[in-house]
Structure 1
Amino acid sequence: MYLIPKPKSYKESKGDFKIRRGMDIIISSNSSFEELDSAILLQKEILESFGFKLSIRKSFKELDSSIVLIRDDSLKDESYKLIVEEEKIKIIGKGGSGVFYGVQTLIQLIRRDGTFLKCLEIFDEPYFKNRGYFHDVTRGKVPKLQTLKELIDKAAFYKINQIQLYIEHSFAFNGMSEVWLNKDPITPEEILLLDSYARKRHVELVPALATFGHLYEVLRTKTYEKLCELENKNTDEFSFFERMAHHTLNVSNEESIELVKNMIEEFITLFTSDRFNICCDETFDLGKGRSKDLASNIEEGRLYVDFLNKVIDIVKKHNKKVLFWGDVIVNHKELLSEIPEDVVCLNWNYSKDATEDSTKVIAESNRELYLCPGVCGWNKLMNLIDNSLENIYKMVSYSKKYKGIGILNTDWGDFGHINLFANSIVGLAYGGSLAWNPSVDREFDKFYEEISLIEFGDKTETLVKLLETLSKCQKVSFEEIVRFKEFNNEIVNTDIDILKEDFKISKLISEEIQDLASEVSSKRDMQEFIISSRGVVLINEFFIKIKQDSSDKKELALKFEEWFYDYMKVWRDRNKESELYRLREVIEYLCSYLRSDN
């Protein structure tokens, strides 16, 4: 069928419709500016695909030799019908969103079939009302506004209707320049512009803000160090591992909740969404430092729930629905009943072997929940595609079984976010596909072919399978590179023969990806794939040479520097400078080591 997501109903018939110069895109008389926006997107796709521009007009009649967009509010929310006849194409949708999704499907048909479209009838509607994508913009990489708009477009194309941008320290909070000065933060104006852009594409921009754990950059400052659970942490040198593992708020200090309140109240006003994700995950240090005396009288779970409820109360006063990560509370299930019933628990698990245990715990508490899989790109130059798809497939199935109200597919950026934008698109699309229609067969190889053609314009339909094969060659990842720098040249414990095999395969795959570049229409994404593949090869080579104590390590230093020079250019194309300098420091350390006598 080659459509992502798969429609609920698809039936082909004899004949075809030819898209040709001189036709019109007609908006029905009862339509609004939402349908006009959809018509403009279709007009743009046809111009880019075929080189001619169709006129847009409004009419009471369904004229032949035209593409007609019709609003029918008797249909279910977000549903549509797409009818291709020999004389015209009709898209009939519930409100602006239904018409919009019908247009996205028509665009995919155009990419699949060209100017001659098969006559067919499609009826389609979503399974999950909440279909989200969670994108880390705080662990090192801050996208440009145009890139965030591109993310919105990608999400909408695959019928994702919620986007969350994860913020710890990368927002320009008023009076907190000490925190964000060297981070190239997202500004309030950028959030306002992005929210408006997203709404026109039927995507809800949901705020997501760290409000309990994961406040490393905030709690290392002179001003806020006193609110850190662990003492004397502002004197340590920067560490990627420390940023991941520590820096929870001290719940025994009343100023902690005041800080959270001030951040929330500045942030919340920028969004039209009626939801707010307070995060509150991985509070690793809770009760182990300044609140230790309090913890000696109150168990850790009670400390967590009491502070969590304070944060929930702040958000609810602004009439927002609260979302939070469920990893802590599932370990204290006896306290679930003390959390307000109207909050949503975000249950995450990123393993391809994910079980349903935690989902069952939350479901039995009668709390609403989203299931949260991942695109599995963090710490990697190339996403673990097969792991991601297997994980998404399982987590969506658990959401069906336990009546979850949504899917929130995640894209994290641990250890500097070296992973590039294009590498996550496959997982994004698959997550959107299953959130819309989970009743599809588990045929990953077929999906690789579909996404290669529809998203990347690869007529050979082989690109994503190459990427998937490359991803399996990462027995060591960028996390091990960071560990080597931060932990006294610690060498990963991986068999040398496995590394050599990974190196050989990754080198061949990298060359194949570069050879395929001329066949792929998405040139920008292709450059990111090429850069990523070269990096996988170099990391494998690095650990082989230091394990074997090779004499030609200085030549590898040159390769790393030349590669990273190209990497920086690709980074800067879609992202602000942000924390690129931190990644450069890691590469410079490797190259210095390779040139030393050791």
Structure 2
Amino acid sequence: MRAQLPQLFPRPRELSLRGGFLPTPEAPHPTALFLKNLPQTIAEAESALDVKQTTPCRIEYTEAVGSESYYLEIATSGIHLKARDAAGVFYGAQTLRQIFEQNPKALPCCEVLDSPDLPIRGFMLDISRCKIPTQSEFRQLIRALARLRVNQFQLYIEHSFAFPGHEEVWQEASPLTPAEIEQLDRECLSLGIELVPNLNTFGHMERWLRHPKYQSMAECPKGWIHPLTQQFKPIPGTLKPDDESLKFIGSLLDKYLPHFRSHQVNIGGDEPWELGQGFSKEAVEKKGKHAVYLNHLKKICKLVEARGRTPQFWGDILLEDLNLASEAPVLAMPVIWGYDAGHPFNQQAQRLNALGRSYLIAPGTSTWQSFTGRLENALTNQVEAVSAAIKHQAQGVLITSWGDNGNHQPWPTQWLPLASGLAQAWCFAANQKGDFDKACAILGNLNNEDATLTASVLQHIGRLDSAIQKSIRNKSLTWELLTTSKESLSEILKEVSLGELNDSLDLLEKGRQLAKGISDECVRSEIILGIDCATAGIRRAQHQPLNSHERDQLIAEYKRVWLKRARVGGLEESLSNLI
């Protein structure tokens, strides 16, 4: 029998066959027991590393590899797994387990040398735009992320934590409770993941400032003009930069941070759109927007540092003027974010690296404001972000999955870009191939047949945006066709042909037929619902909108599918933004 190269994911840095096999008889044979008892948590990995072993199959300490790295040797005489820390043992055990699953009777003799390109490999999930997963779904996600070598996880929170004394803000959201956060923190810790608290503290405060009780802290309590669209926004979104706001944020941090072991916190700070239009107008006219922003950011960072934490913050305002990058809070870690293919990650990262700053780069899954995902954009965005992070010595990447305007995207549409980006953050050179079937198997907990078919369907519908030449930044056109106003729809259709709409319908119908073959009911329903929503958008563009019966059916199915993974809070708001 000729040995086959194991199909591993993430792909390791070096993998070579040596010839021959190591038989794996059933227990109580020592080899079988060793494989059965491989560490499945960081604590088990630490214990294994502490015990000096001399058996043919053993785990050993070595200083010959770096942090989180491992060397795995399978020979006819036994198995050696060597690492210098528990994370290396944990990841090496994952690799060995994959080899055993593919070769249950006899392991191919081989050598694996593996190590990460980036120290931090993170994922951030938006849970403030309507959809908050159930606790069981969170825990399944964390277990999957650990298999993808994630070591940092963030939950983006504006209002979706049950802050004591602020019930009117979160009572309809089904928020995370302190006990739930602590459970997730323990789950993450056991799998080598740092659960970093994430709480916006400056902009994106609409969930708070829409309530009269909090409007005195708003930059523009009576509304503001969006600087990009020139539209009037009646609900304030940015806190005014003063002591009252700082005291308020300090009180939220005191209620939130004690439930995390992490010594970091992401304070947000992005997109304070109306800064300078109200309370701070005079200061901005005198000192400039960036100076006013930076001064207040430093004060928020001091709040965090006074509580024994290191702040992270979104670096968009800072990077509007790269000359200001040197004035950012010294201990804080900026996070460069950009979600479009072609974002200038290299230019921004080069500047921060030249200043000696520790920083992260945050690409996105390109799934929000879409029913089918924008796969090509996402994959390009990941490659550009990870390559810039490696080239310019970033601490790592934080892949983001947002939920703007209702979190309408099917859960599985994030799987391909998420797994691809994380694999590249582990070892960029080895993981240029998508391995999308393995991504679906891990993130969807699917069998091989379903994983392969799901990956095929997601790749197919992920090309939907390319069927229509017109594009809209940061969203899919089919999502816009369903959700936009009649006036905006008329303007869009001036640049879209009937042939493009028909081609899109054909692509979606083919995707629907493929998706029907997925045996996992949850995944099948989610993907087909996304196809149904995209189809409804195209029909609206063709002046054939859903009739009342079809509309009721779509709403009922949307509710049913939503509740398979998410809590009820936010569901009605999401629907109100959809149809």
TM-score relative to the length of structure 2: 0.86
Change (3 A) 1:290 1:477: farther
Partners of 2:424 and 2:432 within 8 A in 1 = no
| Structure 1 position 77 matched with structure 2 position 78 | no
Is residue 2:565 matched to residue 1:574?
yes
Query: Partners of 2:188 and 2:40 in 1: how far apart?
Result: 17
Counterpart amino acid of residue 260 in structure 1: I
Q: SS state of the match for residue 312, structure 2?
A: strand
How do 1:283-302 and structure 2 match up within 5 A? Answer: 283-302=272-291
Aligned to 1:238: none
For 1:188, the equivalent position in structure 2 comes to 178
RMSD: 3.1
Deviation, structure 1 residue 387: 1.8
1:536 alignment partner, one of 531, 534, 544: 531
Letter in 2 for 1:323: Q
Residue 309 of structure 1 contacts residue 339 of structure 1 at CA under 8 Å; is this kept in 2? yes
Partner of 2:16: helix, strand, or coil? strand
Percent identical: 24
Shift of 1:217: 0.7
Give the AA of the match of 1:13.
Answer: R
Deviation at 1:107, TM superposition (A): 3.1
Summarize the Cα distance change of 1:452–1:205 in structure 2 as closer, same or farther, 3 Å threshold: closer
Q: Is structure 2 residue 30 aligned with structure 1 residue 36?
A: no
Contact 2:71–2:111 (8 Å) recurs in 1: yes
Give the counterpart of 2:201 among 211, 216, 220. 211
**Aligned in 2, Cα 1:514/1:287: closer, same or farther, shift over 3 Å?**
same
Aligned position for 2:469:
none
Q: Paired residue for 2:473?
A: none
Q: Deviations over 1:191-224 (max 9, x none)?
A: 1111111111000001111000001011111210
Match of 1:448 in 2: 436
Q: 1:347 to 1:144 in 2, by over 3 A?
A: same
SS across alignment from 1:465? helix
Residue 246 of structure 1 and its aligned partner are, at CA, apart by: 5.5
Match of 2:378 in 1: 388
- Stretch moving more, 177-186 or 349-358: 349-358
- Contact between 2:478 and 2:538, CA under 8 Å: does it hold in 1? no
Match in the other structure for 1:514: 516
Deviations 1:224-248 (A, max 9, x none): 01111122259xxxxxx99999601
Q: 1 CA distance for matches of 2:549 and 2:108?
A: 54
Instruction: Verify the 8 A CA contact 1:155 1:428 in the aligned structure 2.
Output: no
User: Per the alignment, do residues 173 and 115 of structure 1 end up closer, same or farther by CA in structure 2, a change over 3 Å counting?
Assistant: farther
Given the alignment, which residue of 338, 349, 369 partners 1:379? 369
Cα separation, 2, equivalents of 1:233 and 1:244: 4
What letter is aligned with 2:436?
Y
**Other structure's SS at 2:86 match:** helix
What are the equivalent positions in structure 2 for 1:151-300 lying under 5 Å apart? 151-233=141-223, 247-251=237-241, 253-300=242-289
Determine if contact 1:342/1:367 at 8 Å carries over to the other structure: no
Q: Distance in 2 between matches of 1:574 and 1:70?
A: 41
1:25 corresponding residue in structure 2: 33
Match of 2:86 in 1: 96
SS at match of 2:399: strand
Give 2:563's aligned amino acid. Answer: R
1:462 CA displacement: 4.8
SS in 2 for 1:224: helix
Classify 1:309/1:105 alpha carbon distance in 2 versus 1 (closer, same or farther; 3 Å).
Answer: same
- Counterpart among 439, 463, 470 of residue 454 in structure 2: 463
- In the alignment, which of 402, 423, 447 is matched to residue 412 of structure 1? 402
Q: Greater shift after overlay, 220-229 or 578-587?
A: 578-587
The answer (yes or no) to whether the contact 1:73–1:94 under 8 Å persists in 2 is yes
Q: Specify whether residues 113 and 422 from structure 1 end up closer, same or farther in structure 2 by C-alpha distance, changes over 3 A only.
A: farther
- Could you say which residue in structure 2 is the equivalent of 1:549? 543
Q: Aligned AA for 1:415?
A: N
| Shift of residue 69, structure 1, vs aligned partner | 4.0
- 1:503, 1:127 → 2: CA distance? 42
Paired amino acid for 1:167? I
SS of 2:18's equivalent in the other structure is: strand
Name the TM-score, length of structure 1 as normaliser.
Answer: 0.84
Q: Secondary structure at the match of 1:83?
A: strand
Specify the code of the residue in structure 2 equivalent to 1:281: D
Q: Render the CA deviation track for 1:81-123: whole Å, top value 9, x for unaligned.
A: 2222345434333332111111221233345445543221111
AA aligned to 1:549 is H
- 1:357 corresponds to: 347
| Aligned match of 2:13 | 8
Call closer, same or farther: CA 1:242–1:151 in 2, change over 3 Å: farther
* Aligned counterparts of 1:111 and 1:530: Cα–Cα separation in 2: 29
Q: How many residues align?
A: 547
Change beyond 3 A, Cα 1:553–1:340: closer
Name structure 2 gaps, 5 residues minimum: 1-5, 225-230, 466-475
User: Which shows bigger deviation, 106-115 or 342-351?
Assistant: 106-115
Q: Is the 8 A contact 1:280 1:324 kept in 2?
A: yes
Aligned in 2, Cα 1:282/1:151: closer, same or farther, shift over 3 Å? same
Task: Tell me the SS of whatever aligns to 2:319.
Answer: helix
Q: 2:370 & 2:234 partners in 1: Cα distance?
A: 16
Q: 2:116 aligns with which of 88, 106, 126?
A: 126
**In the alignment, is the contact (CA less than 8 A) between 2:221 and 2:235 conserved in 1?**
no
Q: Flag the 1:109–1:13 CA change in 2: closer, same or farther, 3 A.
A: same
Change (3 A) 1:545 1:199: closer
Separation of aligned partners in 1, 2:339 and 2:148: 21
Is 1:527 the counterpart of 2:522? The answer is: yes
Aligned equivalents of 2:99, 2:185: Cα separation in 1: 29
Q: 2:126 aligns with which of 112, 133, 136?
A: 136
Q: Which residue of 2 is the match for residue 594 of structure 1? A: none
Aligned CA distance change for structure 1 residues 138 and 453 (closer, same or farther; 3 Å) = closer
Aligned twin of 1:331: 320
